[in-house]
Amino acid sequence: MEEIRLIEIKEEIHTDNTIKATLLRKNLSKSKTFLLNLMSSPGAGKTTTILKTIEAMGGKIRTGVIEADIDSMVDAEKIAAKGIAAVQLRTGGFCHLDASMVEKGLEGLNLDNLDLVIIENVGNLVCPAEFDTGAIKNVMILSVPEGDDKPLKYPLMFTVCDVLLINKIDYLPLSDFDVAAAEARAKNLNPNIEIFQISSKTGEGIKAWAEWLLKEVTGFLNQP
């Protein structure tokens, strides 16, 4: 019997994706396109929030959307119906988007005419948190009906996001969702996370969030 040898490897498993995402970010910096990755569980209101956000930014920046779904065109159709450039990626069972898939989505949009591209990631609080998409900012939605305990259950998602949107606040009077507890739990995991309370249905709170985004995008576009 041959002797068993040990080979040192010390390699990151996600290296390929991390390299691709870093390169994508660099290229988008050059082409002056701000990439935003929006994540949440299914039904938290990603598509409606995107529409309301674009509306609230009032045409000050040109925005496109990459929609990712396991298998449907529903979301892209909804966005395109409003006259917004949209591309649908069917992930065919994949639970998240990675940098190569985002790159493919970007190819379907004319980046010369866009200042901001919003990725609507696959509805899932687990896997999308693990993959760098090449985005400049990561944003997540937690909706009131999901409960205020989600930061405890999906800590990684809350750790990787720059912004938390607490959506469907119009449901608060009917719910035992504790906003202060949810915010404290999220801040505990990620002290730098920005939190906005919104209702994508009534439009409440959208203005403050849209202003924050507008400021970030403008700052990025004005970088030398």
Partner 1 sequence: MHELQVTESILNIALKYSPANKVKKIIAIHLTIGELSELENEWIQRYFDYLSKGTIAQEAKLVIERSPIRMKCDSCNHEFQIKRDDIRNIECPQCNQKKCTLTAGREYHIKHMEVM
Min dist CB 188 to partner 1, Å, is 5
- Nearer to partner 1 by Cβ, of 51 and 95: the residue is 95
Give buried/exposed letters for 194-223 (b at 16+ CB in 10 A, else e): eebbbbbeeeebbeebbeebbebbeebeee
| Residue matched to tokens 């930061």 | 151
Nearer to partner 1 by C-beta: 46 or 96?
A: 96
Catalog residues that contact partner 1 under the rule CB under 8 A.
2-16, 94-96, 98, 124, 126-127, 130-131, 151-152, 155-156, 159, 185, 187-189, 191
- Nearest CB to partner 1, comparing residues 137 and 168: 137
CB-count exposure of residue 112 (10 Å: 0-12, 13-18, 19+): exposed
- Cβ closer to partner 1: 106 or 160? 160
- Closest contact distance (angstroms) between CB of 2 and partner 1 is 5
Nearest to 104 by CA among 150, 154, 68: 68
Which helix H or strand E contains 196, and what residues bound it? strand 194-197
Instruction: Provide the minimum distance between the beta carbon of 122 and partner 1 in the complex, in angstroms, as a whole number.
Output: 10
- Kindly state the smallest distance separating residue 77's Cβ from partner 1, in Å: 26
